A and B are shown apart, each in its own frame.
Chain A
Amino acid sequence: MKAFDIALKDMTRSFRSAFAVVFMFIVPLLVTGMFYFMFGNIASDGEFSLPKTKVVIANLDEGGPKFQVNPKNIPGGKKADTMGDLIVSILQSEEMTDLIEVTFAPSAEAARTTVDSQNAQVAIIIPSDFSHQFADVDGEAIIEFYQDPTLTIGPAIMRAILNRFMDGMAGVKIAVNVFLDEADTNQYAMVGQVVQLYLKDSLAESDDPAGELLDVRAPSNGQKNEAQESQNLMLNIIGPIMGGMMVFYAFYTGTSVAQSILKEEEEQTLPRLFTTPTSQATILTGKLLSVFMTVCVQVIVLLIAAHLMFGIQWGDILSVVLMAAGIILTASSFGIFVNSFLKNTKQGGVVFGGVLTVTGMMGMIKIFAMNSAIANKMGDTISLLVPQGWAIRGLMQSMNGEPINSVLTTVLISLVWSTAFFIIGVWRFNRRYV
């Protein structure tokens, strides 16, 4: 009970500090908000330019029914004899030139090799029966989407484009199927005209024909999570940034609140606590509990606020709970660990300016190096050298809708970090005040 009283007292003090509240809640949301508006402007004025995503296409589509799509309805106005050609035409259209750089591979294997050798970030492999499957009522038209696993933004952009395109084509397919159900056999040759009519009608409802053509989506190989598909491009960028900010400032808060042990020593309230009939174990437990509870409040508030303000989807509830627990425990124990090495709060400046910033940046390097293949791969390795990297990894896994086992594994590794930090920190503090 006394430990809880100590924790509540510390929390009251923390939340009364305007400085602490600003760094706990406002700064992470503000930074993310700046990115939010910055990337929001990409869509509105197109002034912001992202590095181009290198895409290699293996169009193996051998064709099927001739759709005879009017070139004026295809971005770029190119002729498209197959569904594969249609996709290629769209990806090569003028609207796409700022976002992607297209090259071609003669085979699926060659396309994959191009990605493996990091000469491209994404391979789009259109199978030989793509048009045929599309025309078949029971067929399943699937595009293979092969990406560099270390990258996030570039592939996310491509995924969003393809998803939207394929979704629209699914609408076309429904129209074709309805026609085939209703028409006589001798009218099947008119399928192409039906497609054209569908596109024409749907385009007529849009102010932006090119945009409408892209506003389609359909399942593609390896990208079957519907919830994930619904994320738009901006959130794919903003989500990791907000997550990174949350992890960075959770560690900041953990270290800052844990510093209250040293602060109380300097303010003489800790020695006074030791003169009361309260055991040292209870006092230290209370101090540690306050760190944990404060970071807990911060993470929960940021998760909810980011969802409400930016519409960020953190993943399914179990993954989010696991991921949040990993962040909270690691950030709290890291704070205790770091402070146990300090003699006084003056040394805290070095910790805040040095250790926290360096380890925080190392942990976030993956997020900020998403568009450089080599930097991203290196970043992935470097970030996992620090606890922040594991926290961010769990966060990304949850956001990407990865299986719960993957998230759990990352959280368990975070717990190993956390346990080590906790044991060393508590041992050092106990030895100090014995």
Chain B
Amino acid sequence: MDHVPAIEVLDLHKSFGENKAVQGVSFEVTQGEIFSLLGPNGAGKTTTISMLSCLLRPNNGDARVMGHSIRSDAMGVKSVLGVVPQDIALYEDLTARENLSFWGKMYNLRGSKLKSRVNEVLGVIGLRDRANERVGKYSGGMKRRVNIGVALLHKPKVIYMDEPTVGIDPQSRRNILDSVVKLKDEGMTVLYTTHYMEEAQELSDHIAIMDHGKMMACGTHEELVKLVGQQTRIDLTLNGDGINVMKMWQEIEGVSRVSAEDGLVTVLVADSNQVLPHLFEAAAHLSMRITSVDIREPNLEAVFLHLTGRALRD
């Protein structure tokens, strides 16, 4: 069983009318690793996870979760799976303990086994002291923790976490990221979706970059960064219309790409020390003034920019 990939995705397609949400996505997740789907909102991450959870039926393609096909063995898939949805999916008028007990029953836990698992999970998410309070009275971070706890009740082999850190405070975010690493240490496979580059970079063994329903690239962090050839990213702002100066910058030796979005001009260069003076000279030649400069070493953001021509933003 150890040789079976935890998740094997083969050419998944999903359309909603004219909108092609997922177009031919394929990847493989090894057991015990954290695999991130990185991409902006609307990239197709949640649709992919919904198909892998058997919530949506793909138009084409198939996927296997611990050997169970999402097309022909949905119950098999669901029994090995824990899902942490993007939105908090809890009953706010029930207590944390009641929520966990109910969801445990839905995962076929009963009697003393259920009771002990609920207590264990309450310990894991650090809410044992407040287990008998209604979830509606919890802070956003506490709700997130219960939301994750529900997916851990039946000790699943694979966990899907769909943007679990959206809209929460830094401390809760830190707790969640730590708990994801802990799950991996316990031998679980985690499929994690995010649009935060830092999270994917910090957590993942492998990262798949998605945009407009397509998989743009897949690999380790190092492998992806190599795609942009170790290029440095320079973000600049100008005191006026930058169209002419951008044309001049594109001609400078060592500059591989110039793009602009929301008044911010991004230049990908091989060596920032060598290129930067030329950028200032060209701007001065056109009587333009550079009002800010931000130099960034190669990272996933640069990779995304390199692959899609735009920045990875909300």
Binding site for B on A (CB under 8 A): 2, 5, 9, 12-13, 16-17, 267-269, 271-279
> What are the 9 tightest A-B residue pairs by CB atom distance, in nearest-first order?
A268-B89, A272-B89, A276-B106, A277-B78, A275-B83, A277-B79, A268-B87, A5-B105, A275-B53
Are B85 and A271 in contact (CB-based, < 8 A)? yes
- Please provide the chain B residues from 49 to 72 with a CB less than 8 Å away from any CB of chain A in the complex: 53-55
- Please provide the chain B residues from 93 to 113 with a CB less than 8 Å away from any CB of chain A in the complex: 93-94, 98, 102-103, 105-108
| Minimum C-beta distance from B117 to chain A (A) | 14
Residue of A nearest to B88 (CB): A268
| Minimum C-beta distance from B232 to chain A (A) | 42
Are B93 and A277 in contact (CB-based, < 8 A)? no
- Excluding A269-B89, A273-B106, A277-B108, 8 further A-B contacts by CB distance (< 8 Å) are A13-B93, A13-B94, A268-B89, A271-B85, A272-B150, A274-B55, A276-B103, A277-B106
Are A275 and B98 in contact (CB-based, < 8 A)? no
A9 CA to B94 CA, complexed, in Å? 9
Are B78 and A275 in contact (CB-based, < 8 A)? yes
Jot down 22 A-B pairs with beta carbons below 8 A, ordered by A. Answer: A5-B105, A5-B106, A9-B91, A12-B94, A12-B98, A267-B89, A267-B92, A268-B87, A268-B89, A269-B90, A269-B91, A271-B55, A271-B89, A272-B85, A273-B106, A274-B55, A275-B54, A275-B83, A275-B85, A276-B106, A277-B107, A277-B108
| Minimum C-beta distance from B135 to chain A (A) | 11
The answer to whether the Cβ of B43 comes within 8 Å of any Cβ in the partner chain is: no
Are A2 and B94 in contact (CB-based, < 8 A)? no
| Minimum C-beta distance from B143 to chain A (A) | 12
Contact pattern, B 29-60, Cβ under 8 Å of A = 1, otherwise 0: 00000000000000000000000011100000
Are B81 and A275 in contact (CB-based, < 8 A)? yes
The answer to whether the Cβ of B75 comes within 8 Å of any Cβ in the partner chain is: yes
A270 CA to B150 CA, complexed, in Å? 14
| Minimum C-beta distance from A427 to chain B (A) | 20
Residue of B nearest to A9 (CB): B102
User: Residue A13 contacts which of B87, B91, B105 (CB distance < 8 angstroms)?
Assistant: B91
Are A276 and B78 in contact (CB-based, < 8 A)? yes
Residues of chain B within 8 A (CB-CB) of A276 are: 78, 103, 106-107
User: Residue B93 contacts which of A17, A273, A275 (CB distance < 8 angstroms)?
Assistant: A17
A5 CA to B53 CA, complexed, in Å? 23
Residue of A nearest to B110 (CB): A1
Are A5 and B102 in contact (CB-based, < 8 A)? yes
Residues of chain B within 8 A (CB-CB) of A274 are: 54-55
Interface of A is mostly: helix
Residues of chain A within 8 A (CB-CB) of B102 are: 5, 9
Residue of B nearest to A17 (CB): B93
Residues of chain B within 8 A (CB-CB) of A275 are: 53-55, 78, 81, 83, 85
Interface of B is mostly: loop
A276 CA to B84 CA, complexed, in Å? 11
Residue of A nearest to B78 (CB): A277
Residue of B nearest to A286 (CB): B106
| Minimum C-beta distance from A98 to chain B (A) | 53
Residues of chain A within 8 A (CB-CB) of B108 are: 277
Residues of chain A within 8 A (CB-CB) of B88 are: 268
A272 CA to B87 CA, complexed, in Å? 10
Residues of chain A within 8 A (CB-CB) of B103 are: 276
Residues of chain A within 8 A (CB-CB) of B92 are: 267
A71 CA to B314 CA, complexed, in Å? 98
Residues of chain A within 8 A (CB-CB) of B85 are: 268, 271-272, 275
A279 CA to B106 CA, complexed, in Å? 10
A277 CA to B80 CA, complexed, in Å? 9
Are A277 and B75 in contact (CB-based, < 8 A)? yes
| Minimum C-beta distance from B133 to chain A (A) | 13
Residues of chain B within 8 A (CB-CB) of A13 are: 91, 93-94
A273 CA to B83 CA, complexed, in Å? 10
Residue of B nearest to A270 (CB): B89
Residues of chain B within 8 A (CB-CB) of A17 are: 93
A395 CA to B300 CA, complexed, in Å? 71
Are B106 and A2 in contact (CB-based, < 8 A)? yes
A279 CA to B78 CA, complexed, in Å? 10
Which of A12, A269, A274, A275 is the most central at the interface, judged by chain B CB atoms within 10 Å of its CB?
A275
| Minimum C-beta distance from B78 to chain A (A) | 4
Are B83 and A272 in contact (CB-based, < 8 A)? yes
A12 CA to B102 CA, complexed, in Å? 12
Residue of A nearest to B92 (CB): A267
A2 CA to B83 CA, complexed, in Å? 19
| Minimum C-beta distance from A294 to chain B (A) | 15
Residues of chain B within 8 A (CB-CB) of A269 are: 89-91
Which of A13, A17, A267, A276 is the most central at the interface, judged by chain B CB atoms within 10 Å of its CB?
A276
Which of A268, A269, A273, A279 is the most central at the interface, judged by chain B CB atoms within 10 Å of its CB?
A269
A17 CA to B89 CA, complexed, in Å? 19
Residues of chain B within 8 A (CB-CB) of A271 are: 55, 85, 89
| Minimum C-beta distance from A428 to chain B (A) | 19
A16 CA to B95 CA, complexed, in Å? 12
Residues of chain A within 8 A (CB-CB) of B55 are: 271, 274-275
Residues of chain B within 8 A (CB-CB) of A277 are: 75, 78-79, 106-108
Residues of chain B within 8 A (CB-CB) of A9 are: 91, 94, 98, 102
Decide yes or no: A278 and B106 within 8 Å by CB, A272-B83, A272-B85 being known contacts.
yes
Residues of chain A within 8 A (CB-CB) of B107 are: 276-277
| Minimum C-beta distance from A256 to chain B (A) | 14
A274 CA to B81 CA, complexed, in Å? 12
Are B105 and A2 in contact (CB-based, < 8 A)? yes
A12 CA to B95 CA, complexed, in Å? 11
A274 CA to B83 CA, complexed, in Å? 10
A272 CA to B53 CA, complexed, in Å? 10
